[in-house]
Amino acid sequence: MGNKYSVEKYLDSLPDDIEKIDITCKNLEYLPDLSRFKKLKELYCSKNKLTSLPVLPKKLKILYCFNNKLTSLPVLPEKLKILYCVNNQLASLPVLNENLKFLNCSNNELTSLPVLPENLEILYCYNNKLASFPNINKKLELLGYYNNPIYNIIYEYDININMIKKKIKIWNNFRYLYYCLKYKERIWRIRERLIKRRYHPSYLYDLREEDDLDEKLGEW
In this prediction, residue 1 carries a pLDDT of: 43
In this prediction, residue 160 carries a pLDDT of: 57
Q: What is the mean pLDDT of the chain?
A: 81
Pick the more confident residue, 78 or 153: 78
Count CA atoms within 13 Å of residue 4 on its CB side. Answer: 1
What does pTM read for this prediction?
0.70
DSSP string for residues in 88-121: S--S---PPPTT--EEE--SS--S---PPPTT--
In the predicted structure, residue 121 carries a pLDDT above the cut 50: yes
In this prediction, residue 142 carries a pLDDT of: 87
Pick the more confident residue, 113 or 183: 113
Complete domains list, the chain, with CATH = 2-181 (3.80.10.10), 185-219 (no CATH)
Give the C-alpha separation, 41 to 132, whole Å: 33
